[in-house]
Amino acid sequence: MTSSAAQVKVRGGAPLGASYWKLWTSSGLSNLADGVFKIALPLLAIQFTQSPPLIAGLTVAATLPWLLFALTAGALADRLDRRKLMLWANLGRAVLPAVLVAVVLLDLGSMWALYVVALLVGVAETLYDTSAQSILPQVVHRDQLSRANGRLYAVELTANQFVGPPLGGLLVTLGVVAAFAAPAALWLAAVGALFLVPGAFRTEREVKTTLRSDIGEGLRFLWNQKILRTLAVMTGVFNFASNAAFAVLVLFAVGPASEMGLSEVGFGLLLTSSALGALVGSFIAERVEAKLGRSKSLALTIFGGALFVGAPAVTDNPYVLGPLLFVGGVLIVLWNVITVSLRQRIAPNRLLGRVNSAYRLLAWGTMPLGAAVGGLLAQWLGLQVMFGIMGVLTLALLGLMPILTDKAIAAADVES
């Protein structure tokens, strides 16, 4: 570690520090931009097409970099200054919406243009998120990771899913310039906040290695850690199911011909119910983890995940679906806080970027596949049947819980 903040050995209840809160602010702004952009893009897309596979293609394009680029992003995060990588990634994301505005104003807009922008934003997101999860143990002590991750999830989820979606829906009604200029400005503001974080965040390298050997080392570490490997696979299955469901949720919810008949703003408000649950979950996760233990907490979150993706199979009433999504949001963030904090404690700092990226290759590489399958199943079987299939698939993850006993998790944590 070369960060001056990382040298301060503080304990769980101590203040998280100024550097952490600057990182927190930058993350909040960045995620608000994400939330606006990711709701504006499909709402713009349904002006071009009503085809479920073509709409799902946006999610395929946005998440494909996790399948193709994740390992390289992790290796770069362990070679270069993680803060600088985050800065460049957000600068790239700020430029792309502005380009999209120009394309649409010149009457050159098409689904292909949206796919290209979604793909490039996804590449930048891969770099940013891998570096962001890897930098945190350099900013706070490992005893503070659950609390620090909980606070980060609070602002990220509030911005990305609670404020971003309704704001994005409102901005779309004002026009394409407002809808995409806003995230560009927010990503630039995030760059400014991150620029104020002091210190260097480049890991020390004792010997010169190739990018390929670096990637191989990260893959081997993850493969040899049974707990992390199992969690990555389980997260991958859930992300497959959730992206299958949410890639086409806009067709289920928006417009007079849809099952729910919501407006663009109403759709954004519906999504805030899960975000509000996630916000609540981010503040109680540490206490739930301490009271129930990690194994029981993780099992509980699987039920929340099944509720999250399968609820539209049983109701199209927004006043019923909203509370179900709220409960799902509470429990899903519990999974995230436990698993991310565990990964940050188990993996050594010099390997953390590569372990994060290898983990996310399994956990997030399934997202484009899920979106593609969800679009096809919705086309062939109908939207609600597809939602039901994905809910059952999520519940099936309970079959892997015998691996994740509290004793096994504690042993992996101690070994690190």
Inter-residue contact 222 to 229 (CB < 8 Å): yes
**pLDDT tens for each residue of 280-326:** 887 888 889 889 999 999 999 999 889 889 989 988 898 998 888 88
Arithmetic mean of pLDDT, 366-390: 90
Q: How confident is the model at residue 208 (pLDDT cuts 50, 70, 90)?
A: confident
- Cα-Cα end-to-end distance for the chain: 16
Arithmetic mean of pLDDT, 166-185: 85
pLDDT of residue 3: 39
Beta bridge partners of 262: 254
Extract the runs of DSSP E, i.e. beta strands, from 318-412: none
- The pTM for the full model equals 0.73
pLDDT of residue 296: 95
**pLDDT tens for each residue of 43-63:** 888 888 888 888 888 888 888
**pLDDT tens for each residue of 136-155:** 888 888 778 778 887 887 78
**Residues whose CB falls within 8 Å of the CB of residue 389, separated by 6 or more in sequence, listed in order:** 377, 381
Closest CA to 71 of 222, 207, 198, 187: 222
**pLDDT tens for each residue of 97-129:** 989 888 888 887 788 989 999 999 999 988 998
